Structure 1
Amino acid sequence: MNGPAQPDQAQLISVIAPCRNEHAHILAFCASVARQQLPAGWHMEVLIADGSSDDGTRELLERWCADHDTRFRWLDNPGRIVSTGLNLCIAAARGAVIARLDVHSEYATDYLAQCIAALAETGADNVGGPWRAQGASPMQRAVAAAFQSRWVAGGARSRDLEYEGEVDTVYLGCWPRATFERVGSFDEQLVRNQDDEHNLRIRRAGGRIWQSPRIRSTYQPRGRLAQVLRQYQQYGYWKPFVIAKHGQPAALRHLVPAAFVLALAGSALLLLGGMWWPLALLLAAYGALMLLALADMRAGLTPGMAARVVAVIAAYHLGYGWGSLRGWWDVWRGRAPARSFGALTR
């Protein structure tokens, strides 16, 4: 890791971003970052860690960095996962401030300026904006609608678009360099949830994490139901490893999906024995929850969109629940993480 920022780096912000096989998105991302309007006297460098892409992403990055904008550099990330890519970028970054961006998000032109302002105003160790999702295809719009629902997020403040204040974790993140010097970089054993684990370390070291709605970005969610299911299986699987590593009590919202999957499996077994009412009661309760979720987002919700939203919410709950049960099983047995949950896919 680099040492403390030198005087000529005091107003340099280092943008870091991991990517893999993003041929369709990488140039739009680079152009979005290039349009950032920084405060007077500030400038930026952009470090993109490519995880051995084989779809032409690397060639596009090479041309952009060489011919288009000398503020951009690409790094090779043979580990191919987010945490190794982030750490490579952090080690190479020169700025006094380090901001993580995601290739599948779009950013307000003052995104980085607002991050810098929030750090100065709050003295926080990490700042970010709310996690706002928006899709183009019908399925992406359904994923985005479910994503913002409190019935899916479990009340997580990172999905509250108006909330400003201290939070447990924040979308993406922007840090003073001193934060990494004090608590270290990202855990490279974690394919998912590496940001939650890092924020937990910040809080346990006495640091603060701050969310500001002035830091505006829009996330482009996955466009197929199978991708959503796979994504949330991984989120669920890796959460127990974070909890076990730090002896952290699990929040209720992390346990409910696993309890639902267990109850569903138990009810199905009882059905095989001729006892139908537990499954009927469980499905009725879940149907009521779906109706409440749809009522929250009723504006402009067509029947076709409503059906997609129901499918997406079920994928969230079942994927996260099954994944967390697998994760707890491996943690309880003291096993290394399963290889089947180790490949980060879009």
Structure 2
Amino acid sequence: MIVSVCVVAYNEEKVLGNLLNDIKAQDYEHSKIEVVLIDSMSTDHTKDIMRDFQQQTSDDFKKIQVLENLKKKQASGWNVAIRNFSGDVMIRVDAHASIPPEFVRKNVEILESGEMVSGGPRPNMIDESTPWKETLLLAEQSMFGSSMASYRRSQKKQYVKSLFHGAYRREVLEKVNGFDEQLGRTEDNEFHYRIRQAGYQICYSPEIISYQHARSTLPGMLKQKYGNGYWVALTLKACPGCLAIYHFVPFAFIGGIIVTSVLAACHHSLLAKMMWGAYSCLAVIMSLMAVKGKKKYWQELLLPFLFFLLHVSYGIGSLVGFLKLPFWKYKKCER
């Protein structure tokens, strides 16, 4: 089975080299691996790193391609990969990721067992261990700080609605026909929704593990959460079926803050006291669960506050998205 490992990158000179080393370290036969590297018009040395990798390791792999994503968007970059890969299988790997040596082989084993799409958990990692970054990582990894979706942390093999770093047989990509380039952040959800609608199942295996570099600053995490919430709201116009109730919990939280605050200003504070009491208790409980068995730092005392900031950032993003929704000119793609 010929496997095309595809990477889309924009200004990732700091981490791309490590990922390329991970690809070189794969224990699957390299003569059956094609590497497709797509640069989204980077302004740093990302493309130079790709070119150097192509020149230095071209004899080690079946084929290495370096392509351009002129539209710059993540979704359009993956469409460039879909149009140009030559293998039987395409594996998507984010540039800000790390893959262990058995990553490709484990995907091939699942696909050769009869599955059409495979993948596994993608825990976060940090590039430098400091007490603050470790605390941010705990906030991101917690179910309370990210999501309860089964493809994030389940330890059993199962069929899921979506996943990270998926491996797709060519037949699936030819039938489903690419990513919706009008979407941002939620393009994966919409793409996997169409895969399921086409009759294919998405197989999650806890043995297929990969890693993602977590945002190393609080502003970076908040910006990410805001963008996630914003695009979740807009995606209701494009593909409501690819979203779940939990996607809108932070928006409901923002709504609760607004409603209870108005009521409290009108001397009806009972609901506000109940909501903040319940949220505070839950935030403390989830913080204790997050630090259980971990090395303790005083910064971890800030976890309840961090959870609050992440939820508010996501919720405000959704609020802004809902306000823009009636004016967003989404065109249904012809595929």
Q: TM-score, normalised by structure 2?
A: 0.89
Letter in 1 for 2:94: D
Query: 1:341 — aligned with what?
Result: none
Which of 33, 53, 63 lines up with 2:52 in the alignment?
63
- State the secondary structure of the residue aligned to 2:314: helix
C-alpha displacement of 1:182 = 0.8
Asked if residue 108 in structure 1 is aligned to residue 100 in structure 2, the reply is yes
Asked if residue 50 in structure 1 is aligned to residue 39 in structure 2, the reply is yes
Which structure 1 segments of 5+ residues have no match? 1-10, 338-346
Asked if residue 320 in structure 1 is aligned to residue 310 in structure 2, the reply is no
Whole-angstrom CA distance in 1 between matches of 2:164 and 2:243: 20
Query: 1:5 — aligned with what?
Result: none
Q: TM-score, normalised by structure 1?
A: 0.86
C-alpha displacement of 1:42 = 5.8
Query: 2:28 — aligned with what?
Result: 38
Whole-angstrom CA distance in 1 between matches of 2:5 and 2:305: 36
Query: 2:77 — aligned with what?
Result: 85
C-alpha displacement of 1:270 = 3.9
Query: Against the structure 1 CA distance between its residues 124 and 228, is the aligned structure 2 distance closer, same or farther, given a 3 Å change threshold?
Result: same
Asked if residue 125 in structure 1 is aligned to residue 116 in structure 2, the reply is yes
Deviates more, 1:25-34 or 1:134-143: 134-143
C-alpha displacement of 1:141 = 2.4
Deviates more, 1:201-210 or 1:129-138: 129-138
Q: Deviations over 1:162-217 (max 9, x none)?
A: 12110011112000011011111111111211111111001111110011011111
Q: Deviations over 1:273-308 (max 9, x none)?
A: 455544333222211111121222222252524234
Query: 2:176 — aligned with what?
Result: 183
Query: 1:208 — aligned with what?
Result: 201
Query: Against the structure 1 CA distance between its residues 17 and 315, is the aligned structure 2 distance closer, same or farther, given a 3 Å change threshold?
Result: farther
Letter in 2 for 1:265: I
Letter in 2 for 1:31: N
Asked if residue 167 in structure 1 is aligned to residue 156 in structure 2, the reply is no
Asked if residue 310 in structure 1 is aligned to residue 304 in structure 2, the reply is yes
How many percent of aligned residue pairs carry the same amino acid?
25
Which structure 2 segments of 5+ residues have no match? 331-335
C-alpha displacement of 1:263 = 1.2
Deviates more, 1:24-33 or 1:152-161: 152-161
Whole-angstrom CA distance in 2 between matches of 1:154 and 1:161: 12
Query: What is the aligned-residue RMSD (CA, Å)?
Result: 2.2
Query: Against the structure 1 CA distance between its residues 309 and 48, is the aligned structure 2 distance closer, same or farther, given a 3 Å change threshold?
Result: farther
Q: Does structure 2 retain, via aligned residues, the 8 Å contact 1:104–1:220? A: yes
C-alpha displacement of 1:35 = 0.9
Which of 10, 23, 31 lines up with 1:20 in the alignment?
10
- State the secondary structure of the residue aligned to 2:257: helix
In the comparison of the two structures, how many residue pairs are matched?
324
